[in-house]
Structure 1
């Protein structure tokens, strides 16, 4: 009996160049490195005084294979579904915004839930950081049910990094459950049940500027969400006059209101921060929330 020997070629995926696997049409629309570096610097500024969060950031970026999931999530959403980017840049912009919101809340004595469970602010920083970085990796599998996919893909990442930071298995498990809860509820449905989860949901919706939109501006092919983001020039998260957090949305046209009313406002209302956030539109000189 003749036997056929099939040779196998080993494929190695580089964390720093996973996007090279995808078509040139996709690579042409990967956001510029300065966007990535800007978000990364903002993250590092927030966590520089927090050793546990800083170690989690280092492990995620340098050791884990999360970049492969980010690149595939971006490819799925922008190239296949013609949506806004949901990859590396979205994850890091969301993380930077989430850490800003956490800082503002804590400075107004609004405590994250992990502190009520015996943790500290460093633990809260880690939860918000890791949840934001992992919240949309499920898009690497499919947009449908991506909340569940994100939790599934995040679990082995958490199993890798958390025991390094938390030698006590019970503490590592507690941190994991709070992170997975935030990932699961980042769309606002199901409703976020923690302060940390509510922060992720709002920060996710805050990534809506025009540089982040679907690469096509053709109304016949781009989604309404992508078209709406083209009218939004910037989103600024700062301390409010009457509430701890004020989200200022700078836009050139009122078309940007679609994204705000369809995504941001419902996510604020769904979580636990509705009494702590205002939304201000300078174009109208009006608070809409």
Structure 2
């Protein structure tokens, strides 16, 4: 994830710090235990959080290539690299609140992530308190807004919403399905997620970001229309996004 997307300088330092942090790893593992074993929900652990980070990094790169500036750049508060660090850290930490439970987990994630962000960013921005405060605040906005239920204002936070919603493939639902012995009757979320074969993020033809979702059955439309579309609709990055769905041997359906 570090070398493949051209991270350098402080962004590489931040990525290594958060990915190798023992406390972060322990919290991510326990978040997954609570999500899967206690709540019979889908993956909210280290694989999910890294997948969201990867999705967000891809979209950040696509926007940069299209000449679109982040909020920190437009507001003269920081560089693209600073925005990248905020998005990366927020993506890796956004579901720490699942260690407590599902309800309001994004808000629980904020206060659980704050001391970690502060600790790591003091290493990255040791000589720049203003930059530390700026990046920390932006990361917290991304964490608090990732569910799409609260209004966010920065482009950076909007990308985290979409990156989170794009982690919907059947692999994410595989473990809870195994634990539960198959989908529970009437559990549309698990059934629909299990029909999502692939999600790809690439350069669009009309907008910088294109999301293609391949499904094995029409029930996967629920995951797109009730989960992902809702997040995109509330996202500040919606205007830069194309969304398509493809049934196996079916026609391409365009949403955005």
Same fold (TM > 0.5): yes
- Structure 1 residue 224: Cα displacement: 2.1
What residue in structure 2 maps to residue 30 of structure 1? none
- Structure 1 residue 122: Cα displacement: 1.2
Whether the 8 Å contact between 1:47 and 1:54 is mirrored in structure 2 is no
Query: Which residue of 81, 84, 92 maps to 1:133?
Result: 92
Answering whether residue 23 of structure 2 is matched by residue 65 of structure 1, we say yes
- Structure 1 residue 245: Cα displacement: 0.6
Q: Residues 199-278 of structure 1 correspond to what in structure 2 (within 5 A)? A: 199-213=159-173, 214-215=176-177, 216=180, 218-220=182-184, 223-278=187-242
Q: Please tell me whether Structure 1 or Structure 2 has the larger radius of gyration of its CA atoms.
A: 1
TM-score in terms of structure 2 length: 0.92
What residue in structure 2 maps to residue 187 of structure 1? 147
- Structure 1 residue 86: Cα displacement: 0.5
TM-score in terms of structure 1 length: 0.82
- Structure 1 residue 137: Cα displacement: 0.7
Query: Which residue of 155, 177, 184 maps to 2:137?
Result: 177
What residue in structure 2 maps to residue 20 of structure 1? none
- Structure 1 residue 132: Cα displacement: 0.3
Whether the 8 Å contact between 1:195 and 1:272 is mirrored in structure 2 is yes
- Structure 1 residue 64: Cα displacement: 4.5
Paired residues, number: 247
Give distance in 2, aligned partners of 1:61 and 1:273: 26
SS in 2 for 1:250: strand
Whether the 8 Å contact between 1:43 and 1:95 is mirrored in structure 2 is no
C-alpha RMSD of the superposition: 1.5
Answering whether residue 58 of structure 2 is matched by residue 103 of structure 1, we say no
Give distance in 1, aligned partners of 2:136 and 2:6: 19
Runs of 4+ in structure 1 deviating by more than 4 angstroms, as ranges, are none
- Structure 1 residue 222: Cα displacement: 8.0
Give distance in 1, aligned partners of 2:186 and 2:48: 18
Give distance in 2, aligned partners of 1:233 and 1:241: 23
| Structure 1, unaligned runs of 5 or more | 1-41
Q: Tell me whether 165-174 or 127-136 shows the greater mean CA deviation.
A: 165-174
Query: Which residue of 5, 8, 14 maps to 1:56?
Result: 14
Whether the 8 Å contact between 2:63 and 2:69 is mirrored in structure 1 is yes
